[in-house]
Amino acid sequence: MKTITIRRPDDGHVHFRQDGVLPGLLLEHADICGIAVDMPNPKPPIRTGRDILARRAVFAEVVADRRPWFRPRFCAYQTPETTAETVDDVMDAGADGFKTYPTDQERKPGTTNAEWGMYPPEHLDPKRAPFFERLVERRGIWRVHAEHPDYKQEDREKAFLPILDTLLQRHPELRVVFEHISSAEGVAFVKAHPQMMATVTPHHMLLTWSDGYGNHDHCCMPAIKTETDRIAVFEFARDSAQAAYGSDSAPHPRAAKAQVKGANGIFVPPRVGIPAVVALFEREGCPEKLEPFFSERYADWLGVPRNEDAITLVREPWTVPEEMAGFRPLFAGQTLDWRIRE
Ligand SMILES: [Zn+2]
């Protein structure tokens, strides 16, 4: 197979950041993707309807009408102050729901810019019930970084599952996206809850602990795990209608990545992440599963039309640059066998 053509892909999870770096990052995605979900954790985070309107205006100005296929989606950051009224405020401004980030009890961030987030057991506080009830009423989406910061890195996702289970028993109609799923236990949990969706990153399908350990480029939350986890995540991405592409593209300046306790997050532009997954699916003999994973399931779950046009990938080795849009991407300096034809 020399070329693969798929319906234009979507990306369910992207950090476009803010200020000077935003335009370059946004256009990297807008060139290739249809739907792209903007994560609400720039500094300061997006918390209110007014924040959503301002963010939408920035996107509209950068992308203008040059990429008519691009359909950004926005969500707000759930903080301890978020209420049922906030649900109406942000959804009336055009958001499709919320994202929640874990902090520990002292509100130290469990991941980048998570210090406004919530200590996981707080979700079960009866005071939160009106928030979830209103979100269900409005058919809003609750996107969850499902990690419990009280545990060591490799156990954090697993440790969050009982909280999610209780929450789903109380609010069975809640529309949940389990973000950047990374463990065999997480996969089993999502499969047991057919109302849920999950995003899957290229790195959790391609790398294991041994690739990640000590490599600042591969530091991310949730951490890259074992080969058993990697296989479970890949097979889920390949086979399940509940799995869709979400790059979790999360660029950090090189200096921040290189610190002893390096910043968590990997820059995964579509020109790198998509060919890397194409190579994996092709190698595993399932290229026909690329289109459902990239271009169908997320739109279908959202209940919006699939993208109408297509992109073509060619089998043509190329070296990933050391820098793209000002940041060091995943697989910088390495050769990928597939590239997106432009
Ligand atoms: Zn993320």
Task: Return the DSSP state at 121.
Answer: G
Residue pointed to by tokens 């919320």: 98
CA of 250 to the centre of ligand 1 (A): 6
Residues of 100-119 as b/e, b for ≥16 C-beta within 10 angstroms?
Answer: bbbbeeeeebbbbbbbbbbb
- Asked if 69 and 8 touch (Cβ cutoff 8 Å), the reply is yes
Q: How far is CA 142 from CA 14, 82, 99, 131, 174, in A?
A: 16, 13, 6, 11, 7
Please give the pLDDT value at position 112: 67
CA of 64 to the centre of ligand 1 (A): 25
Residue 116's nearest CA partner among 157, 158, 81 is: 81
Instruction: Indicate which residue of 248, 300, 309, 337 is catalytic.
Output: 248
Quick check: is 88 catalytic? Answer: no
- Nearest-angstrom CA–CA distance, 293 and 309: 16
Q: Which residues of the chain have pLDDT under 70?
A: 109-112, 114, 212-218, 255-263
CA of 79 to the centre of ligand 1 (A): 16
**Rounded to 5, what percent of the chain is helix, strand, coil?**
40, 20, 40
Rounded to the nearest 5°, which phi and psi values hold at 340?
-80, 125
- Asked if 33 and 68 touch (Cβ cutoff 8 Å), the reply is no
- Nearest-angstrom CA–CA distance, 124 and 317: 50
- Nearest-angstrom CA–CA distance, 32 and 9: 7
- Asked if 30 and 264 touch (Cβ cutoff 8 Å), the reply is no
Please give the pLDDT value at position 235: 98
CA of 2 to the centre of ligand 1 (A): 33
CA of 183 to the centre of ligand 1 (A): 16
Which domains, ranges and CATH numbers included, belong to the chain?
A: 3-340 (3.20.20.140)
Q: How far is CA 237 from CA 22, 158, 245, in A?
A: 29, 19, 8
- Asked if 169 and 189 touch (Cβ cutoff 8 Å), the reply is no
Long-range contact pairs involving 224-229 (C-beta distance under 8 Å, separation at least 24): 224/182, 225/154, 225/182, 225/183, 226/154, 228/184, 229/182, 229/183, 229/184, 229/204
CA of 296 to the centre of ligand 1 (A): 21
- Nearest-angstrom CA–CA distance, 85 and 62: 30
CA of 297 to the centre of ligand 1 (A): 19
CA of 1 to the centre of ligand 1 (A): 33
- Asked if 122 and 163 touch (Cβ cutoff 8 Å), the reply is no
- Nearest-angstrom CA–CA distance, 30 and 36: 8
CA of 138 to the centre of ligand 1 (A): 24
CA of 311 to the centre of ligand 1 (A): 25
CA of 130 to the centre of ligand 1 (A): 26
